[in-house]
Amino acid sequence: MAFIHCLIIVVLACSTDHSFAVDKRLLLNDPETLLSQIHALQQELQELKSSTAEKFRLLESENKIQGSVYIRWGKHSCPSLNNTVLLYTGTAGGSFYTDTGGGVNTLCLPHNPDFLPDHFSSLKQYGVGYLYGGEYQFSLKNVVVQDDVPCSVCRVNKASSIMMIPAKLTCPSGWFKQYSGFLTSEEHGTVRSEYICLDEDPDFIERSRVNENGRLFYPTVTVCGTLPCPPYKNAVLVPCVVCAL
């Protein structure tokens, strides 16, 4: 009886497999079934393409919005760290140190300027401001007084923020140092300008060392009083650091 029971099971199993194979052949030979399967595959492929394209679009968008730009004052190059790239090099420019008009911010002017068409020259009849180059007013390492001040515009590709911290040489936890140096400004008693963090190892522009003035770079020192001392000290140079996150 056990033998007959096993034989019946084997026959039923073979019959089931045979029926499945027959049904499968019938389905594959059915044109409507084939068209339906092809259509389903095409739809899946289109959905996959759309999904992939959306992922690439988002990735491209993220890459475009990532990164921060800053100016490295006093250098022809950008630091080779933190995935930093050079956008352009230039020369520092701003208002003449005794002018009461013009801009107060300092510009990094590119070495290959463009020029407006001639018909814009009529604008000058209404009055103008003046833009000068920048000069060091101290000697340090490779630079001397009257050397022209270079600058570099740098982009940190994998950073969302850039900040300059005065009176520090190190960055907060989690931030990365781009460069450090000392704080500069116009000389006390002249027209004020912005504070600039000049690189600790400054370069100069290869040109004459004629005293033409313009936007002048002086080191900055502390004055106790409203500035609390301690922790500050009187009449000491102010360090600075530029950090990226």
Contact call for residues 94 and 195 (beta carbons, < 8 A): no
Residues in the chain: 245
In this prediction, residues 97-102 reach a mean pLDDT of 88
- Three-class SS of residue 179? strand
Nearest to 213 by CA among 144, 140, 133, 149: 133
Angle between helix 2-28 and 31-65 (nearest 10): 70
In this prediction, residues 176-196 reach a mean pLDDT of 93
In this prediction, residues 51-73 reach a mean pLDDT of 71
Tell me the C-alpha to C-alpha distance, in Å, between residue 27 and each of 15, 30, 34, 42, 129: 18, 5, 8, 19, 84
Q: Please give the DSSP secondary-structure letter assigned to residue 47.
A: H
Residue 221 pLDDT > 50, yes or no? yes
Residue 20 pLDDT > 70, yes or no? no
How is the chain split into domains, by residue range? 65-112+130-244
* Residue 229 dihedral angles phi and psi, to the nearest 5°: -135, 115
Element (H, E) at 43: helix 31-65
Instruction: Give the pairing type, strands 215-219 and 132-136.
Output: parallel
Positive or negative, the CA dihedral 42, 44, 47, 49 is: negative
- Tokens at 109, concatenated: 């002017």
- Tokens at 135, concatenated: 């000069």
Tell me the C-alpha to C-alpha distance, in Å, between residue 17 and each of 6, 13, 141, 153, 231: 17, 6, 90, 74, 89
Residue 25 pLDDT > 70, yes or no? no
The pLDDT value given to residue 190: 86
AA letter at 134: G
Q: How far apart are CA 208 and CA 134, in angstroms?
A: 13
In this prediction, residues 119-127 reach a mean pLDDT of 90
Positive or negative, the CA dihedral 93, 98, 99, 100 is: positive
